[in-house]
Homo-oligomer: A and B are copies of this chain.
Amino acid sequence: MARPVTLFTGQWADLPLEELAEKAGAWGFDGLELACWGDHFEVDRALSEPDYIEEKRELLDRRGLVCFAVGAHLVGQAVCDPIDERHRAILPPDVWGDGEPEGVRRRAAERMKDTARAAAALGVTQVNGFTGSAIWHLLYSFPPNDFDEIERGFEDFAERWDPIVDVFDTEGVRFGLEVHPTEIAYDFVTTRRTLDAIDNRPGFGINLDPSHFAHQSLDAAAFALEFADRIYHVHVKDSRKRLDGRRSILGSHLDFGQEARGWDFVSPGHGDVDFESFVRALNRIGYRGPLSIEWEDSGMDREWGARDAVAYVRAIDFEPSAVAFDAAMQRSE
C-alpha cells in the first residue's frame, strides 16, 4: 500500500480547523499535520484543558483524518535566532513576552518541550519544526567571518536543543528539523555539522522538504540517501527557478510571489523537484511515513492547488519491488 497523504495545516491557519478538516476530507487527504498556530493545535491549551485533545481527535475522526505529526515551526525558530520584531509577529504573546532576546529564546525552548508533551498526549510521535540559528546572518563571509564564531553557532544550537530533545526522548516523541535556509541546517554540509553537534542523538532528526533543496541546486534524493537514518518525516512541496540572467537566485529582497524573484515556491509537480528520484530514494531508505503536502504557491488558487496536489502525489507515489527480476528467467532445478 502506498504512503498516506496528509496536509500540513500551517498555511491554512486563517481557517478554523473544523472548516479545514471538512475541506481536506473532501479533497481526499488521509490526514492532517497539525500546525501549532491558529486554532489547529494550541500547545498550552492541549496541556491545560482536559477535553482539548479529545475534541481535536474527534474532529479529525469525523472526517476520516489521521494525525501523524505536529508542526511547531514558529516557536522553534525562536530558540536559536537573534530575536527581532519579525518574531513578535509569529510567536504566541506569552512566548514573546517583553521581547528581550534571551528571554524569548528560553521561553521558546520551554514551549518546545511542552510541544513534545502535548504531541504525546495526542498520541503523535513526530513533531516537525525549525530550530532558528545564531549564525544564519553570517551567510556570506564579508566582512570576513571569524570561523570560530561559526563553530560556536553550532555549539549554541546543541546547547539549546539538547535539553529539549531530552524531553522528547522522555515522551517517546522525535523532533524533525525541516532543513531550510534560515535554520542551523539548510544543506548537506550544515546538516552534517548539526547532527554531529548534537552527537547524532536519535531524538533529533529531519523533516525532509525537497522544495528547499531545488533552488540551492541540491539533490533532495541524494540527501535522503545520505541521511537515511534521520529522515523521520517528509514534506511534499516544490520550488521553481526562473533564472534568465536578470533574476538573482538570492531573491533580491523581494517577497515571495514577486515577478522579479529568481525562484519561488509552487504547488507540487509544478516546479523543479525531481519527484521520480525522490520517491525512489524514499523507497530505497525504507521510509513508510506520510507524504505531507505543505502547500504554498503564491500564483495559484489554494483550493484548486490542494486538489491538484493530492492527485499528483497519489500518481507519483509507488511502492518498491519485492521481487528480484531476472529470477523469473532462471529455471529452478
Residues of A within 8 A of B (CB): 2, 10-14, 37-38, 74, 77, 81, 85-87, 89-93, 135-147, 149-150, 153, 180-182, 186-190, 216-219, 222, 225-226, 241-257, 259-260, 262, 270, 276-277, 280, 283-284, 296-302, 304-305, 308, 318-331, 333
Contact residues in B for A323 (Cβ distance below 8 Å): 14, 302
Cβ distance A97 to chain B, nearest Cβ, rounded Å: 14
Contact (A245, B222) CB under 8 Å given A256-B326, A320-B301 = yes
Cross-chain pairs A/B with CB under 8 angstroms, 16 sampled: A10-B328, A77-B142, A93-B331, A135-B253, A136-B140, A137-B137, A153-B253, A188-B247, A216-B249, A216-B250, A225-B259, A257-B325, A259-B284, A301-B318, A302-B321, A304-B319
Q: Residue on B with the closest CB to A255?
A: B147
Cβ distance A214 to chain B, nearest Cβ, rounded Å: 10
Q: How far is the CA of A200 from the CA of B207 in the complex (A)?
A: 38
Q: How far is the CA of A324 from the CA of B90 in the complex (A)?
A: 15
Whether B11 lies near A325 (C-beta < 8 A) is yes
Q: Residue on B with the closest CB to A274?
A: B245
Cβ distance A233 to chain B, nearest Cβ, rounded Å: 19
Q: CB within 8 A of A145: which of B143, B226, B246, B255?
A: B255
Whether A141 lies near B325 (C-beta < 8 A) is no
Contact residues in B for A2 (Cβ distance below 8 Å): 304
Cβ distance A37 to chain B, nearest Cβ, rounded Å: 7
Whether A331 lies near B89 (C-beta < 8 A) is yes
Contact residues in B for A37 (Cβ distance below 8 Å): 329, 331
Contact residues in B for A299 (Cβ distance below 8 Å): 280, 283-284, 320-321
Q: Residue on B with the closest CB to A308?
A: B318
Whether B325 lies near A181 (C-beta < 8 A) is no
Cβ distance A332 to chain B, nearest Cβ, rounded Å: 9
Q: How far is the CA of A245 from the CA of B78 in the complex (A)?
A: 30
Whether B259 lies near A187 (C-beta < 8 A) is no
Cβ distance A151 to chain B, nearest Cβ, rounded Å: 10
Q: How far is the CA of A180 from the CA of B280 in the complex (A)?
A: 26
Whether A252 lies near B321 (C-beta < 8 A) is no
Whether A329 lies near B189 (C-beta < 8 A) is no
Contact residues in B for A146 (Cβ distance below 8 Å): 85-86, 89
Cβ distance A296 to chain B, nearest Cβ, rounded Å: 6
Most buried by B among A86, A250, A323: A250
Q: Residue on B with the closest CB to A183?
A: B142
Whether A87 lies near B143 (C-beta < 8 A) is yes
Cβ distance A83 to chain B, nearest Cβ, rounded Å: 10
Cβ distance A321 to chain B, nearest Cβ, rounded Å: 6
Whether A331 lies near B92 (C-beta < 8 A) is yes
Most buried by B among A38, A180, A182, A217: A217
Cβ distance A231 to chain B, nearest Cβ, rounded Å: 15
Contact residues in B for A248 (Cβ distance below 8 Å): 186-189, 216-218
Most buried by B among A12, A283, A318, A325: A325
Cβ distance A122 to chain B, nearest Cβ, rounded Å: 21
Cβ distance A176 to chain B, nearest Cβ, rounded Å: 17
Whether A38 lies near B92 (C-beta < 8 A) is no
